[in-house]
Amino acid sequence: MADHRRSLHVGEIVQAQVRALDHSGAWIEIEGQSAFVPLAEIAWFEVEHPAIMLRVGDRVQVRVLGRTGQGVLECSIRKLERPGPTGQVLTVTAVVETPKHSSNVYRYSEQYHAFTLYRALHFPARCPFEIGYLPGTRGADGEPLRMVILLTNGTFPGCELTCRVVGLLRVEDAAGPDAKLLGVVAVDPNFADVYDVTDVSHHSLRKVVHNFHLLRSVERESFTVRGWERAGAAHQAIQEATERSADADADM
């Protein structure tokens, strides 16, 4: 009997249904054809098991990647979309507090209009990125929003950087829920193709999370990572924080 199933083309986005999950990925069905989504292609952040993101019976969109040497049709969920330069791009001005490779953590003091030494790390570790704040914003805790800034070479406390906002890390500590923005320096050519957290390597995202765990271990504070969110969520957080700051200024 002839096989009337149509051919699926590389790059095509199609509807699929999840049929089975295991440690290596998710088996799906596309128009009666069996296909596979490898674990690394399920999400743009690292997951330990596909059941974290999917359930058997779920209907999902996937992008066709092609066939393996064994003839298995491979697909991706994480490659469904990429905002890129044609998508919504938000650039902001961030002021550096803690520069890259510093073993000291600094905070800007509105009272003294100066950068104060907030914490001195007593273990052989240096910050692998820069941490800055966004002037004119106010988070739920009353402080300016803070941003992890990825760049090639470190700067200095007080340096103004034009950054593209690419993501948001949801965390929770003893004070309650919090969020850390993720940005890249707009003029750094090594990050010219980074517009969303999906463009950042798993290794870099792990370094960000690991560094926060190290910092909190110094203070022996509880600290839980809730997960990464994409650029759109970060844009919304900045808008809300900007409105909150304007309302606070109007009440003064």
Give the domain CATH number at 104.
3.90.80.10
Domain extent for 57: 13-76
Question: Is there a domain that residue 99 lies in?
Answer: yes
pTM, two decimal places = 0.69
> What residue spans of the chain are helical by DSSP H?
202-219, 231-251
Give the domain CATH number at 62.
2.40.50.140
The Cα–Cα gap between 60 and 65 comes to 15
Into how many domains does the chain fold? Answer: 2
Question: Is there a domain that residue 84 lies in?
Answer: no
Question: Is there a domain that residue 4 lies in?
Answer: no
Q: Per-residue confidence of the chain (252 residues) as pLDDT tens digits?
A: 444 567 888 888 999 999 999 999 999 999 999 999 999 899 877 788 999 889 999 999 999 999 988 889 999 998 886 555 545 789 999 999 999 999 888 999 988 999 999 888 776 668 889 999 999 999 888 889 999 999 999 999 999 999 999 999 998 877 788 899 999 999 999 998 888 888 888 888 888 988 887 776 666 667 788 888 988 899 999 999 999 999 877 776
Domain boundary among 53, 76, 99: 76
Dump the DSSP string for 92-152: EEEEEEE-TT-SEEEEEETTTTEEEEEEE--SS---SSEEEE-TT---TTSSPPEEEEE-S
Question: Is there a domain that residue 5 lies in?
Answer: no
Q: Are residues 115 and 232 in the same domain?
A: yes
Q: Are residues 52 and 108 in the same domain?
A: no
Instruction: Give the three-class secondary structure for 166.
Output: strand
Query: Could you tell me if 149 and 130 are in contact, meaning their C-beta atoms sit under 8 angstroms apart?
Result: yes
